[in-house]
Chain A
Amino acid sequence: MNVIGYTAVVAQVALVVAGAPLLTGLMRQVRAKLEGRAGAGLIQPWRDVRKLLRKQPITPTGTGPAFRAAPALLVATAAVVAALIPLVSTQTPVRRHADLIVVVALLALGTVALALAGLDSGTAFGGMGSSREMTVAGLVEPTMLLAVFALSIPAGTTNLPAIVSGAIHDPTRLASPAGLLATAALAVAVLAEAGRIPVDNPATHLELTMIHEAMVLEYAGPDLALVELGSQMRLTVLLGLLTSLFAPWGIATSATWTALAIALVLFALKVAALGAVLAAAEVFWAKVRLFRVPELLAGSFLLALLAVTASYFLSGTGGGL
């Protein structure tokens, strides 16, 4: 059990780190194909990382520890989240610590680290990006918490592996009104948290419209590679969280090698499919006006609230919380 459990944790982290740039490459490729362009290929993000890692590290004068620590912190938080949440197995040695509040807090830590780095750079763009990112984050975090709460009510715990294994054994929980509302709410929150259209445009070169990119404009070389990798890992982890919560089938609930192998393959397929769907959907969307972003997120918060309410009243086990 222990060997397989540790292997599962290592495999989760390794798959997220190695697969995150590939997921970004896949999403860009899907978008390019749908727009009638050739695209740069699946492994372009890895080539970019390799290129950036070979460059000389430089930091702008006047920046302090916040600027230097942020890239490492971003990657570290994403890696810890990748280890904690049940992406391929619920039977891991860290499962007792995989609380959803811890997970949301770890993601928020990464966001805050980057926002502080943006402020630390002392440029107008850094401050502007940080201010926007914090505005969005302030609206996203409660939505994420509430949406997962809605799922934790039937399970009677905020422990993610418990929620996931509960859903595997009782799939009707997911098809309930609460489950569907929570899915919608969490999906919007994930889009905003990952800086995708319609909230932010990851492909833009227009510095005045940027949210995430504006904060990291001053990074170069290996630091930029870490920031890019960290952002890609966060996207992977967030999509992975979505699939684990709402399409948990295939996740290993028993500690066997075959279950683990199947779970790994299924995890990769599910996240790749979700990423491709997201990229395809983005082709048909446009970025909303910045002042409309709060409306969008307030809407998703409302969905999450309804999900919690529905969950509480319909499941009848609300007392478990």
Chain B
Amino acid sequence: MPPRHPDRTIMEIDTSELPGIAADLLRDGHRLALVAAHHDDDSAPGGRALRVVYLLTAGPPDSRIELHVRLDAALPELPTLAHRSFPAGRFEREMHDLHGVRILDHPLPRRLVRHFHWPKGWYPMRPDAGPAPAFGEQEGPYPFLEVEGEGVYEIPVGPVHAGLIEPGHFRFSVVGETILKLKARLWFVHKGIEKLFQQRTIDAGLPLAERISGDTAVGHALAYCLAVEEATGIEVPPQAQRARALLLELERLYNHVTDLGALCNDVGHGILNAQALRVREQLLRLNENVTGHRLLRGGVIPGGATLRAVPDPEHLRAVRDDVSEIVSLALGHSTVRDRFTGTASLSLDAVRDLGCLGYVARASGLAHDARTAHPFTAHQPPTMAVRTTGDVLARFLVRAEEFDTSVDLVAQFAGDLQPGTARNPLPPPGAPARDSGVGIVEGWRGTITTRVELAADATLARVKPVDPSFFNWPALPLALADTIVPDFPLTNKSFNLSYAGNDL
């Protein structure tokens, strides 16, 4: 058996022990990073079962603890952890919808992934699910909570929107212009990615990982590769790890500058968006030089990394000066600043309770960054951008500061990198293997966690990626309470959550 990640421990426990152990770990400062269900057949070491894996992480120091629970394959039933962890409740609902696991005593036993037309009793992640059937008999009603009272009306928005954005349905309950309640219904772009991963070779899994969320190609590809490398036990050359860290920061750069401009555009200050888009285009061309793809696909590969060119630090510093000017112009504009300040603020308590990640969490004061908590190279960001107000302005400022830090990091990485491929070979397809691995990466949106299990012939038995959007979506309605309707697009942009990464 290849070596596991030195910081990962696996505990096989009984369902009755689960709530207690999980509660202890959560109290110790661990967060629930991932929950994945596995349908083990008779050839598995423990025999036929529905095995649920809970991954809890903390850091620094890097700690990864897995709780494995085995359920009856014919009638899987699981005690809920929703009372102790909000994300656990959502993972459980997802598991119910995709695997048909019954969750006992769940406080919100509503559907999450299952859309209206999914036929009753069909669970796509079960091994015997087969191809997707025709639209069938619905599984019970799927109502929105109706807010009642004088003058309350509903605004339904989406799933098709006016701009070029992804599909999601939002139901606002409004009095006058003030939002009383917002319900977001997602999973319109559920593509069955977890199912598509199964039985692919490791190399064939990479293009799929890069396409989980188009703007996070490096983040998801890297999390996938780190997980696969742990599962197969191959070492990655240090130079390749540095190249990966560089690509990760390049991805942060182009996405953050896009958001900085888009936030200005959403308050009607289009000129700064035009300038930000100009900078973005420069960065996308740089990306094309570096990896051959404008969105950085193909740079991170299992076992290593490949660079066509190394970015010029001087060029990036010029870009940083441009962005600093855009940011200072935005903050110096009284109307823009007024629109950002105090809009849709999210409290630190809410961030903690919901398990938010990335700039959303850091803007509310939660100092969490997987680059320091779960590092894969020795290089770490020197500072962490944290704000405490949790409003649109804080999310804008965190992005601006992270942009600067990332430019420094890229310059630092570029100093001792050469173009070319650095890679240790993977075991050949069909080689005997059976193990699991976990990859944790701070993508530009937040912490991405991917867990991989290999089959006996070294193909992918199960890949479970978790995008930070999965944790951050529930925070959006919370931040919007008592915000006015015309500020929703601005708030939504300040979160800029992925639909594709959430819906999988």
Contact = CB atoms under 8 A, between A and B. Distances in A.
A287 B267 contact: yes
Given A36-B274, A124-B155, A286-B269, A205 B162 contact: yes
Interface stretch (B115-123, B455-463, B485-493): B485-493
B271 A290 contact: no
Interface in B251-288: 264, 266-271, 274-275, 278
B382 to A, nearest CB: 34
Contact of B157 (A31, A37, A208, A285): A208
Contacts of A124: 153-156
Interface stretch (B57-65, B319-327, B330-338): B330-338
A206 interface: yes
Contacts of B486: 208-209, 289-290
What 8 A-B pairs have minimum CB-CB distances, sorted nearest first? A287-B268, A286-B269, A35-B274, A206-B489, A286-B335, A124-B155, A201-B268, A205-B163
B36 to A, nearest CB: 36
A67 to B, nearest CB: 20
Contacts of B271: 34-35, 283-284
A255 to B, nearest CB: 45
Contact of B267 (A36, A205, A286): A286
Contacts of B162: 205-207
A289 B266 contact: no
B268 A198 contact: yes
A42 B175 CA distance: 42
Contact of A206 (B156, B163, B274, B335): B163
Given A206-B266, A286-B269, A286-B333, 11 more contacts: A35-B274, A36-B274, A197-B268, A205-B163, A207-B157, A208-B485, A208-B486, A283-B270, A285-B335, A287-B269, A288-B339
28 contacts: A35-B275, A36-B278, A127-B153, A198-B268, A204-B268, A205-B162, A205-B163, A206-B266, A206-B489, A207-B162, A208-B157, A208-B485, A208-B486, A208-B488, A209-B486, A284-B271, A285-B268, A286-B333, A287-B335, A287-B339, A288-B339, A289-B338, A289-B484, A289-B486, A289-B487, A290-B177, A291-B177, A291-B484
A249 interface: no
Contacts of B268: 197-198, 201, 204, 285-287
B485 A128 contact: yes
Interface of A: 31, 34-37, 124-125, 127-128, 197-198, 201, 203-209, 283-292
Contact of B155 (A34, A35, A125, A284): A125
Contact of B335 (A203, A205, A288): A288
A179 B484 CA distance: 37
Contacts of B275: 35-36
Interface in B310-359: 333, 335-336, 338-339
A286 B267 CA distance: 6
A126 to B, nearest CB: 11
Contacts of B335: 198, 285-288
Contacts of A127: 153
B222 to A, nearest CB: 33
Contact of A288 (B153, B161, B163, B338): B338
A215 to B, nearest CB: 14
A91 B268 CA distance: 42
